[in-house]
Amino acid sequence: MEQVELLHETVVGNKLSATRVDRVKQSATAGLHLAGSLVKAIHKIHFRASNSTKLSSLYLFDAVARHARDITKGRAEGYDYTCVKAPPGSGKQDGSREALEAGASEFVKRAATIVCEVVEDSLRNVTPEQKQQTPPQALALHVEQG
C-alpha cells in the first residue's frame, strides 16, 4: 500500500515540511476506501516509531484525520475524484465525490477508535520540549474522545 510506505518513510525520516505533509495527506486520501487498513497502519507505524519520531507520527495522524474530516464536511474542492475508489459495500460509484466522502467518513470513525491511545502514547514518550510542540488540536480531540 503506497500510502503506508510514504507515511512510514516520513515518520522514520522525522523531517516534516508543509510539502511532505501535503504529500502524505494526498496519498492517504487515495487510500480512504480502505479506511480500516489505513487506520491499522497508522497505529502500527506510530507504536513502532522511536520516541524521537513519535511527534512526527502524531502530526501526520492529525493532518490526515483533519483532512478526512474536512472532506466529510464537503470541503474536498480541487481533488480529482476520477481515481477514487468507493469503500467496499458503500454502494457508491468509483470516481465520484460520494465515494471520496464515504471513505473519509469511514476513516474518521475508525480513527476515533485509536486517537486516545496515540495521543497518550505520544505524551508519555516524547521529551518535555516535544510535549510543548504537541498539536493543541490533537489534545482537544483526545479530551473530546476520552
Question: How many domains is the chain partitioned into structurally?
Answer: 1
3-state class percentages of the chain: helix first, strand second, coil last, to nearest 5: 75, 0, 25
Tell me the mean pLDDT in the region 117-141.
74
Tell me the mean pLDDT in the region 93-118.
93
Report the percent of the chain where pLDDT is more than 90.
Answer: 60
For helices 18-30 and 54-72, angle between their N-to-C axes, nearest 10 degrees: 60
For helices 2-13 and 35-48, angle between their N-to-C axes, nearest 10 degrees: 20
Tens digits of residue pLDDT in 23-39: 999 899 999 999 999 99
* Residue-number span of the structural domain to which 91 is assigned: 2-145
97: CATH: 1.25.40
Tens digits of residue pLDDT in 117-128: 998 898 888 877
* 78 secondary structure, DSSP code: T
* 134 secondary structure, DSSP code: S
Tens digits of residue pLDDT in 65-98: 999 999 998 876 667 788 899 999 999 999 999 9
The one-letter code for the residue type at 70 is D
Task: Provide the whole-model pTM.
Answer: 0.87
